[in-house]
Structure 1
Amino acid sequence: MYSKLITLFSLLLTILFMYTAVSKLNHLDLFQWRLERMPYISSYASLISWAVPFLELVIAGLLWFPKYRTMSLYASLILLGSFTTYIIVVLKYSESIPCSCGGVISALRWKDHVILNISFMVLSLLGILWSKKQNNIQINQNTVQ
């Protein structure tokens, strides 16, 4: 059962990361311009505009290799957690909050972004926990035999 849920979570995370990465790369100039307007990170806009979609694509790909799945679930959790923390800080301490998202996700309000990200963070965390549980079960079965 855990295996099927982990695969489902990997699929959902892959869809999220592929969609957001392709959206950013299709409109890279616009994405970078929006990042330049964001509080606290504007001086890193050029680096972020390439690094984030690259990381999203790498994570999406690694989710499909069993050897790297747990690591990529951790990476998903960290990337989503970083973005969510940033959103919360900006909402709390900044006066101007332009959206740097593209596609359908850009239609979400900031609080909706937080809810969406937390939902995917929960999927990542459950995937990590269940992967570890599944690995422990397999190890115990191998030692008993």
Structure 2
Amino acid sequence: MKYFKKIIPFTVSIFFVILFCYAAISKVLDFENFQIQISASPLLNESSQFLPYTIIIVEFLIAGLLCYRKTRNIGLIGSFVLMLIFTGYIAFILSTTDNLPCSCGGILEKLSWHQHLYFNIGCVILSVIALGLNLRYSRPAE
């Protein structure tokens, strides 16, 4: 059972590495469209100059942190915070705007805003579970 509790954080970390790398690469490949979508947001248009670069860099950075056991806790915290921010943004958009293009990349932009909200809530929950288990079971035996 303890092995199973150690494998969950590793598996969730792999999921987030794939998710963040996929999303960041999709944004890089269609960067101009990503910038336009960010600037179209009523909440983000003030920071539309630097935000696209920041989001891509942060997604790659967190993915990198998740790849190593020594930095996995920081990566899981980063995943939690980033997914919480994205989830809050989507909740805000749903409560204020009817029609806004998704600035996500690839397959994720095919989701409706509600589907995206549920997906992000699931990711927030996964990150909390993985972080809790990693903090508890990844420490060396004393």
**TM-score, structure 2 length as denominator?**
0.92
> Could you tell me which amino acid in structure 2 is paired with residue 30 of structure 1?
N
* Preserved CA contact (<8 Å) 1:91 1:97: no
CA distance in 1 between counterparts of 2:104 and 2:88 reads: 16
2:90 aligns to what? Answer: 87
Q: d(CA) in 2 for partners of 1:103 and 1:94? A: 22
**What's the secondary structure of 2:101's corresponding residue?**
coil
| Residue equivalent to 1:32 | 35
Aligned alpha-carbon RMSD (Å): 1.3
Q: Deviations over 1:59-107 (max 9, x none)?
A: 0111011111011101000001001101101111234422212211111
Residues of 1 paired with 2:97 and 2:38: CA distance? 15
* Aligned equivalent of 1:117: 120
User: What is the TM-score of this pair, normalised by structure 1?
Assistant: 0.90
Opposite residue 46 of structure 2, the aligned amino acid is S
Residue 14 (1) aligns with residue 10 (2): no
Whether 1:58 and 2:61 are equivalent positions in the alignment is yes
Q: Shift of residue 112 of structure 1? A: 0.6
Structure 2 distance, partners of 1:32, 1:71, is 28
Higher mean displacement: 94-103 or 119-128: 94-103
Q: Structure 1, residues 119-145: CA drift from partner, whole Å, max 9, x if none? A: 111111111100111146x3xx41xxx
Distance 1:135 1:8, change over 3 A: closer
Kindly name which structure, 1 or 2, has the bigger radius of gyration based on alpha carbons: 1
Residue in structure 1 matched with residue 74 of structure 2 by the alignment: 71
Distance of 1:102 and 1:14 partners within structure 2: 15
Q: What secondary structure, in the 3-state scheme, does the structure 1 residue paired with 2:48 have?
A: helix
Q: How far did residue 115 of structure 1 move?
A: 0.9
Q: Where does the alignment leave 5 or more consecutive residues of structure 2 unmatched?
A: none
Alignment length (residue pairs): 139
Gaps of 5+ in 1: none
Structure 1's consecutive aligned runs of 4 or more residues displaced over 6 angstroms after TM superposition are none
Query: What's the % identity of the aligned pairs?
Result: 29
**Structure 1 residue aligned with 2:133:** 130
Matched letter for residue 12 of structure 1: F
